[in-house]
Every structure is written in structure tokens, then in C-alpha cells.
Amino acid sequence: MGRYIVDFVCLGLHLVLEVDGDSHGEDGAETRDEARTAWLRSQGFRVLRFWNYDVLTNIDGVVETIFNDLNRDAVPA
């Protein structure tokens, strides 16, 4: 997407999921990640970031976070 390779994209939902490994904790990584996220959002995408560890050890929590984020603007019936 643009100059970036994202981990997962759902074009229909305008959703990008990023799964961050250890390299995202290195010097300068936070600044690069913020710039990447800002660009993706400027293109109309919702961006959710998760640590590898959370995906591997708490997939239910990750799925719940995604579900809640996608439904946060939903109006109750």
C-alpha cells in the first residue's frame, strides 16, 4: 500500500492490521511506525497494531479488540 507492505488488509472494511515483532521496539521504530500509521489513516484506513506475543498468546483478546473497534460506531438496534 503506497510504499508500505502491510501485514493484513481488508479493503472492504478499510482495515489494516499490523503485527509487530521485536524490531518495532528498536531505536527509531516508534517514529517510523507512527509515520506509517499516519499515512495509512490519511488514505482512509483504520489501523490496529498488535504485538506478535499478543497474537500468539492471547488471540481471543486480539479478536475481541478487532471486533470492538469495528463495532464502536455501530448504533444499537
Q: Any idea where the domains of the chain sit in the sequence?
A: 8-71
Put residue 44 in one of left, alpha, beta given phi > 0 → left and psi -120 to 50 → alpha.
left
pLDDT the model gives residue 14:
95
Q: pLDDT per position in the chain (77 positions), as tens?
A: 888 999 999 999 999 999 987 665 566 677 888 999 999 999 999 999 999 999 999 999 999 999 999 998 766 65
Residue 17, SS3?
strand
Q: What is the pTM of this model?
A: 0.79
Residue 58, SS3?
coil
